[in-house]
Homo-oligomer: A and B are copies of this chain.
Amino acid sequence: MITLYDSLISGNAYKVRLVLAQLAVPFRAIEMDPFDGSTRKPDFLAKNPNGRVPTVLLEDGTYLAESNAIIWYFAEGSSLAPASRLERAQTLQWLFFEQYSHEPYIAVVRAWKHFVSKLSPLQELDLPERVKRGYAALDVMEKHLASRDFFVGGRYGLADIALYAYTHVAPEGDFELARYPRIRAWLARVAAQPGHVTITAQPPRA
């Protein structure tokens, strides 16, 4: 059985839990604390030299890291995967947008405001810029959703899952979603998908 090195506060780990739930793939989860240094200890670095969750142990003994690479792996051949060469590239475009232009701002601001008790001077100085760039990412999403129900190919898939993970908890970073009606309607569509699980739903623990 697959093992997921997990964190219930990580939207990146949540992507994996959501995909595994919707594909009915059995797994066991090991909860890690992303803030206590345990992902930087030698035993974990032997699994993922980059020291991050989520990381999965596949049944053949291979470790796989990076949330969007992991969900791509499990979704291949399923209805969550893009159906054509162009849709694969468009899905990847949104997955890279999520990791480069969305997560470093929306997820980091959420972490700083919701999970960190005292910010460093650098973080204090950086916060307004991160908030600004988070809203810029939401602006791009709102614009894309003007003529679409889902991000790629007219149906629910990996791009929606990757973007949902931190967008739906953006209010925990004090991002105001009230000004984004299309994003809010899309969040509701994603949450209404068969087999949806919430970010706080307890997975099967090892």
Contacts and interface: CB of A to CB of B under 8 A. Distances in A.
Interface of A: 49-50, 58, 60, 62, 64-70, 72-73, 76, 85-86, 88-90, 92-93, 95-97, 99-101, 103-104, 121-122, 125-126, 129, 140, 143-144
A65 B91 CA distance: 11
A66 B49 contact: no
B96 A69 contact: yes
Contacts of A104: 100, 104
Contacts of A76: 85, 88
Number of copies of this chain in the oligomer?
Answer: 2
Contact of A66 (B96, B103, B143): B96
A92 to B, nearest CB: 4
A108 B140 CA distance: 22
A100 B192 CA distance: 30
Nearest to A76: B85
Given A99-B100, A125-B125, A70 B89 contact: yes
Contact of A93 (B65, B89, B103, B140): B65
22 contacts: A58-B86, A62-B86, A64-B89, A64-B90, A64-B93, A65-B97, A66-B93, A66-B96, A66-B97, A67-B96, A69-B89, A69-B93, A69-B95, A69-B96, A73-B89, A76-B88, A92-B92, A99-B100, A100-B103, A100-B104, A122-B129, A126-B126
A49 B85 contact: no
A66 B104 CA distance: 16
Among A62, A69, A96, the most chain B Cβ lie within 10 Å of the Cβ of A96
Nearest to A63: B93
Contacts of A143: 49
Given A62-B86, A85-B73, A96 B93 contact: no
A66 B92 contact: yes
